[in-house]
Amino acid sequence: QVQLVESGGGLVQPGGSLRLSCAVSGSVVSIYTMAWYRQAPGKQRKLVAAITKGGTTSYADSVKGRFTISRDNAKNTVHQQMNSLKPEDTAVYYCNGNINQGNQWGQGTQVTVTS
C-alpha cells in the first residue's frame, strides 16, 4: 500500500509564498510522473504542475513563472514552491503520482490567499 502525504498549506497574503511538500511512503516499487492538482470550491480539479522522473516539468499557464515543481527521487518527495500568490490560487492542493503503475492521490492541503 502506498500513501501520499501533503504538507505546507496555509493562509497567506497576496504576493506571499508557500512551499508544498508531498512525501510518498509504503511499498513503493516505481514512481514516474508526479504532479500537483488543485480544486477550488465549486470547480473541477485541475492540473497545476507536473514533473517526470527525469525532471522535465510542465505548468498550467496560470502559474507559469510563479510556481516551481521539484522532486527528490532518493527521498520519494515532490515539492511545489509557490511565489507571488494570488487570491485565485486559493484551493485544496493535491499531490498525485504514477506509483507502482497506478494513479495515487494524497488527501489534499488547503491553500488560502487573502488579505
Q: 74-94: per-residue pLDDT in tens?
A: 999 999 999 999 999 999 999
Please report, rounded to a whole number, the percentage of residues in the chain having pLDDT higher than 90. Answer: 94
Q: 19-40: per-residue pLDDT in tens?
A: 999 999 999 889 999 999 999 9
DSSP per-residue string spanning 24-71: EEES-S-EEEEEEEEE-TTS--EEEEEE-TT--EEE-GGGTTTEEEEE
Instruction: Kindly report the average pLDDT of the chain as a whole number.
Output: 96
For residue 111, give every residue at least 6 positions away whose Cβ sits within 8 Å of its Cβ, in sequence order, or none. 9, 10, 12, 18, 20, 38, 82, 85, 89, 90, 91, 92, 93
Cell of 35: 504532479
For residues 44-68, average pLDDT: 98
